[in-house]
Amino acid sequence: MADKQWFVHPLRVRYQETDQMGVVFHGNYVTWFEIGRTELIRAAGYDYKAIEQQGLLLPVVDLQCRYEQPARYDDQVLVCTRVADFSPVRLAFESQVRRVDTEQWHAGSYGSEEELPGERLVSGGTRHVWVNESWRPTRLDKALPELYELLRAWPREQGEG
């Protein structure tokens, strides 16, 4: 599913997100990955609150995060997220945090990584399993077929069907 488009969500680094070294505290990037996932799901036409109200949960079962360059206070960054792998029971997201100039960014979807604006600071991703309220694995295509179809049909790179 590497052909899926990136969804980008802009953020500005707040003072409280930095540490004594003057850079973003490493744990905040994980929070930003979550913001990216949440906003991608919302852009697809759903939200986590509605998913949970229907008895489904999507816990993180694996997290990868590679720090390449630090973000600093007041930097403008884009949280870039795309569906990396998808099945009725599993969902994986690929994520990047990129620093951008004021004139350079805007929210929306982009095709390939080469089209993403700015300098890549952090890359990684998360893997998830759909479970019910008893924490038993659940098939999304059976439990919420409309959400399954929304995720399956998430926009591909321009020019693809």
Residues that are catalytic: 19
Run of H or E including 121: strand 119-129
How far is Cα 30 from Cα 49, in angstroms, rounded to an integer? 20
Buried b (16+ CB within 10 A) or exposed e, 125-156: bbbbbbbeeeeeebebeebbeebbeebeebee
> Residue 91, SS3?
strand
Per the CB < 8 A criterion, the answer to whether 52 and 128 are in contact is: no
Sign of CA dihedral 114, 43, 128, 138: negative
